[in-house]
Amino acid sequence: MKDSTKRPVLVLLAGLVVVVSNLAAMYRAAQNRREASRGIVELTERDLAMVPVFGDSTVMLLQLKWRDQSDERRFRNSPDWFTAARLAELGFDCHVPASDPGARDYYRTMLPMPACVVLDTKGVRTRHEDGRPEKGLVAIDVGRDAGQLEKKYPDFTRYVIARGVVSLMFDDSPDSNDASRRPPQIRGRINQIVPDLISVPPPHNAGLLSLRSRGGSGEGSDNREPRYAVTVSWGTHGEPWVRQVRMLSDAVPFRP
């Protein structure tokens, strides 16, 4: 086949690939939204902060602000319940004892893994800066099977089952509060929620865009009353989408 004949065929094939890819994405999105089986919750500005943008962009993104139940800064996103046994349930090979001389070399090669993360919208969390307790979006469990987690946490108006990435931490550093070395330990860590950015499409973004144009941003949202509340659903594929945005009163000083 001559080059002049090949070129239109290649262009046609490339176009078909784009069309098929778009149809597949639309089908996946429709399938994801068929049933909000992994959460349909209302979150305020303290859990969904506006992402700053430059210029006059009408794109509105909100970032999930979740916490864990660990009070120690050194173990941030590594709650006490995320033990070696829980890591093993997720598929990490934790057969080497933490006390083994070769444990550090063995565990430092472990790669992160995907997992399902349960977020409690009414969880009690602690600010790392001053230690004051507050309620908000808290990671309380992890698992491999979303269906099992749905049975364990059936209240989808309170709990969210999101996709995430977890990893193994090997800690053999000395305790800052004690001159002696603490025993080495294997801990799990929640690296991130995927996705942690949620797009707000028209017409839901109108109030948020107005707020942003008046100089509102996500900075300092923990120190004032929330200015908006967003109803978000997580579908069968663990992908979130916005159902509704409700504007609250303008910011006033927050007093716990």
- The answer to whether residue 93 is domain-embedded is yes
pLDDT per residue as tens digits for the range 219-242: 555 667 899 999 999 988 889 999
pLDDT per residue as tens digits for the range 60-103: 999 999 988 765 556 678 898 999 999 999 999 999 999 999 99
pLDDT per residue as tens digits for the range 96-142: 999 999 999 999 999 999 999 999 998 876 555 666 667 789 999 99
Main-chain dihedrals φ then ψ at residue 135, nearest 5 degrees: -95, 145
- The answer to whether residue 6 is domain-embedded is no
**pTM score, whole prediction:** 0.77
- The answer to whether residue 174 is domain-embedded is yes
Would you state the pLDDT for residue 41? 94
Would you state the pLDDT for residue 253? 38
The answer to whether 60 and 78 have CB atoms below 8 angstroms apart is no
Percent of the chain at pLDDT > 70 equals 69
- Using the structure block, give the residue that is written with the tokens 């509102």: 216
Cβ atoms within 10 Å, residue 9:
10
The answer to whether 41 and 231 have CB atoms below 8 angstroms apart is yes
- The answer to whether residue 23 is domain-embedded is no
DSSP string, 192-241: EEES-EEE--TTTTHHHHHHHHTT--STTGGGB--SEEEEEEE-TTS-EE
Going by the DSSP 8-state scheme, the letter that residue 75 receives in this structure is G
- The answer to whether residue 233 is domain-embedded is yes
- The answer to whether residue 8 is domain-embedded is no
Task: Give every CB contact of residue 73 below 8 A, 6+ residues apart in sequence.
Answer: 128
Would you state the pLDDT for residue 113? 97
- The answer to whether residue 16 is domain-embedded is no
Domain of 146, in residue numbers: 37-247
Give the pair of three-digit tokens for residue 37.
Answer: 């089986």
Cβ atoms within 10 Å, residue 221:
21
Would you state the pLDDT for residue 178? 55
Give the span between the Cα atoms of 97 and 115, in whole angstroms: 23
Q: How many domains does the chain have?
A: 1
| Across 43-67, average pLDDT | 89
With a cut of 60, say whether residue 3 has pLDDT above it: no
- Weakest mean pLDDT among 131-145, 164-178, 211-225: 211-225
Give the pair of three-digit tokens for residue 254.
Answer: 């927050």
- The answer to whether residue 45 is domain-embedded is yes
- Nearest of 15, 65, 22 to residue 44 by alpha carbon: 65
